[in-house]
Structure 1
């Protein structure tokens, strides 16, 4: 009898030690994970969202987190086909709870976007765009699967367009994104034959207020290029503006988003260099040009009206060009640089156009020598 009591005592004692050891091991494991970084860091994508007590439909809101804030991702699970992350916030209480994965971008994906932005840091903005429907921001200009998706941008999100790429369409059923954009464009009419052959993808630079990921690619048919209101009247159905840069210095026109309705507006009128494209220009050796027209508009501040300073269309000069457009200089002496195809050699060459002002402060453009008047890639 005494032996049994002693044996029972030892069982209870070792059980207690075992449980304590498990707790110690778990604590050590948690500490080690935090120290060596086995858990991941995520950044909040959405403007504001709540960490919840559960991923169930009925759950308590524990803590509000905002776009750009970071959380620690501890675990993940799929509930009713929706991916959820268990996260820990960096607040005083180290609040733990659940967030839908769509609200978070993981550190690895964010770093890839930052690397893309670093590569393109010297590229001048070519245009401003705004989404006409929610759209995925991708790491590469393709939508074969979801592996290159960085995050989903909200409808009417705005961004700088720094580059674009024409991707030949593949035969097959319409994708989800194509269906989204068809709905967004319902009732609109476009005469853009190049869209029958290619999908255009925009490489975009995003402000931190819009997205924690600074750069990525967006499917072009979900983008409305925001041509400044003071020059949109110079655009025609046959000749669409593809890029525009200001030729002003201090107080240069800027495109800003209205907080009331989300519309993009220009702060004030000014002088612009504009590249445009028609459907007449054709691909050469399988390469599509970005533009086939150059227009420079000056602005008369006294009469408050624009005037045409230079136009390849007016001068009957045919150009076949590729991005980017660059503006250099300051004050009354500026220049802009474009990449034009030499029809004799077939090679792309940088061409510099000088922009000056006369004694009446009227804008004047001196084009480079040797611009050809023969038609390049046109029928």
Structure 2
């Protein structure tokens, strides 16, 4: 694909950034389960964690194609860092940007973009994953406040957040049409988080439950109006899928790169693995599928930038790229053989990181439902 000049410059800049800042850090974060604060500050300083946030609110004011470029390049080096970036860039920023009041944008969106605050997005619950209609978290109006009770799970950045976007029931009999979205500050009484989850992959990001026990949320922290919480969540996820799909392309490309590198070095039966036709054909298959996934992501991003609705294209990009990331990581590890199973080699971490991509921000099966729904309506 032919980029505009600004996209070429951005791609070079972010590549230089990750080569310097994320050189040996991914393996360290995988061990410690923590992301250094100075890394978060640098991501904010260079606007990599606020690519699509308008300049007036402290972001880069760039387009979705730029967002895809940033996510892919970061995730070639570190999927955990990419998860942190996409959580803030889309899941937290977009509900406020697209539905929030001017006061909410100044109070929360701008500090988020500047790196002064960290946010998280609370939709998933212990009993409500893909089935968002099974929400149990509830917000009851009491004078000038809502009383919030409930629990969210698997929430990225929950242990380190300053505020959370929370989807809660305000009118249970209406089901999904009875949900609303709130901005809830972590310093308020009754707001707590669970233990940091000991995850299989993306271990550098901190993930835990959010717990709300009679948290008093001011009415002015309701995003938009009552009853549109599910609409806000779906609008956010539609755009956010570009970020996760680009993340998957980055992970897939990193796995492919490791496979190519290793195949040129490893000698078996008197020649390098790269000299065997089976290896060559496997690499050719991997390269073709990674390139196809990338084009699906770019297509969705360009259409989003053109103002088009991309529920269909976004789901195709997220579904295909996530599945390809898993497939390519599997094949790359297989090329490494036993060494790929050892933590000394990056492919071991890449393989574990890839698995989440088919699960979060809408499983592959949910994406298939969206895609087929668009075909059959």
Task: Indicate the structure whose relative CO is greater, using CA pairs within 8 Å and at least 6 residues apart.
Answer: 2
Pick the structure with greater CA Rg. Answer: 1
The structure with the greater share of residues assigned to helix is 2
- Fold-level match, TM-score > 0.5? no
